[in-house]
Amino acid sequence: MLPTVVPPSPTDESPVDRQARPRWRRYAWGLLLLAIASGIGGVFYRQSAARDSPTPELTEALPVDVISVEPVERYTTEREYTGELVAGRSSVLGFERAGTVVNIFVDEGDRVVAGQPLAQLDIRTLEAQRQQLEAQRQEAVAQLRELQSGPRQEDIVTAEAAVAELEQQVELARLQRDRREDLYAQGAIAREELDQETYNTGALEKRLAQTQSELAELQAGTRSEQLDAQTARVSQLDARLQQIDVDLEKSTLYAPFDGTVGTRSVDEGVVAGSGQTVLSLVEAGPLEARVGIPPAIADTLTLGQAQTVRLGDRTYSAPITALLPELDATSRTVTAVVQIPAADLTVGQTVRLVLTETQDTQGFWLPTTALVPGERGLWSVYVLTEPDAAETSGETSANMYTVGRRDIEVIHTEGDRALVRGTLQAGERAITSGTHRIVPGEVVQWVPE
């Protein structure tokens, strides 16, 4: 059976332990008093040193540059609108009639003048048709002249003689018929002989009437209806000849204006259809820029007003020649036509129309170096304020200022400056340099020039 171990109780402390406890307590209290005395002495020493040493702000104040802010009532901006350089006139040329191309007188890039032949179709068929129509016209004209001249006198004399001869024959036939009637009444001849004589007399009378009518027609001359009909026939042939002449003329393609030949789509020997593209021609005159601008801006422009146009690194002053009345269906802008005076430009170049706009807005112009990021995504600017008397002393206090903060809103930026508005006041001096090294309330140095 193991013996039972009884732990010592606090009351069982030995006499040696009771004698050592007061000694350690005295050591702890002594160390605490020594630490307190050292701290108080350090405080008094630093205060004394601060009174005896110069003010840090006066010796370490950062020099800054400032600008005196002045209010403005309005500002102008330049806006660029992009467009394309086009020719004043550009045409795709082709023949109105189909045919075989026999000649092309120009090549791509050639300079041509208005009226210069460019290409030609085969015209042999048209020439043959014209010769045939010319012969028909000559025949019709001869017939018209004959009708206009009327019958010849010889024809009239011949007709009169024929009438006289028939009149005598009719008179003789009537006498013979009368005798036959008497003989028939006496019973000397048969009825058949009387009928034969009566028929012959009637036939001669009809021939006489016909011949007399022909004589009267000859004596009266040509009827007006015949003249009109033949005149119309001649006019019809003249119109067909004119159509042939037009086709012959249109068989040659002429330059409609001075310009430069662009693309050449066909060569000799090709059967070109009506309206098929043969050549393209670009006018050689001054080129035009077509630029889309907002309708509100277009309302402020006037025709003939000179504007700035930029093409690459070159700048031109060009007048506005037209403002098209319809909005572009895609961009919903007004097309402004600007005539470029230069001659060494290429169709299709990108142009930029520079327009100056005036905005009525109050604010202050500041360099962008004066802007400091503020709270909640806003901007601020540091300004000079008069320092407290306790912060400066001596002769140098005249050039020492305290940094103040002004909250602002940026309205417009232009290069290295910005138009702002906010709590900034007219006449205040805004700090423009070293803003990243200072904070509000800091003392800075500024020496006026």
pLDDT per residue as tens digits for the range 150-188: 666 677 778 878 888 888 888 888 898 888 888 888 888
pLDDT in tens, 7-42: 444 444 444 444 445 554 555 555 555 555 555 454
Q: Is the entire prediction scored with pTM above 0.85?
A: no
Same domain flag for 195 and 154: yes
Which of 244, 272, 302 corresponds to the end of one domain?
Answer: 244
In a shared domain, residues 292 and 314: yes
Range of the domain at 294: 84-89+284-356
371 and 326 assigned to the same domain: no
How far apart are the C-alpha atoms of 339 and 289, rounded to whole Å?
Answer: 6
User: Of 236, 266, 282, which residue sits at a domain end?
Assistant: 282
**Would 10 be classed as within a structural domain?**
no
Neighbours of 431 (CB within 10 A): 24
Bigger pLDDT: 82 vs 36: 82
Give the bridge partners for 66, in sequence order: 431
311 and 339, same domain (yes or no): yes
Q: Is residue 95 part of a domain?
A: yes
Q: What domain count does the chain have? A: 4
Per DSSP, the three-state class of 349 is: coil
DSSP designation for 395: G
CATH at 273: 2.40.50.100
SS3 92: strand
Q: Report yes or no on 276 lying in a domain.
A: yes
- Same domain? 134 vs 224: yes
**What are φ and ψ of residue 336, in 5° steps?**
-100, 130
**Calpha distance 344→348 (Å, rounded):** 13
The answer on 288 and 277 residing in a single domain is no
Q: What are the tens digits of pLDDT across the range 173-231?
A: 889 888 888 888 888 888 888 888 889 888 988 988 888 887 777 776 667 788 889 89
Does 144 reside within a domain? yes
Q: What is the pLDDT of residues 105-118, one digit of tens each?
A: 999 989 999 999 99
Is 257 in the same domain as 398? no
Residue 379 sits in a domain whose CATH number is 2.40.420.20
433 and 389, same domain (yes or no): yes
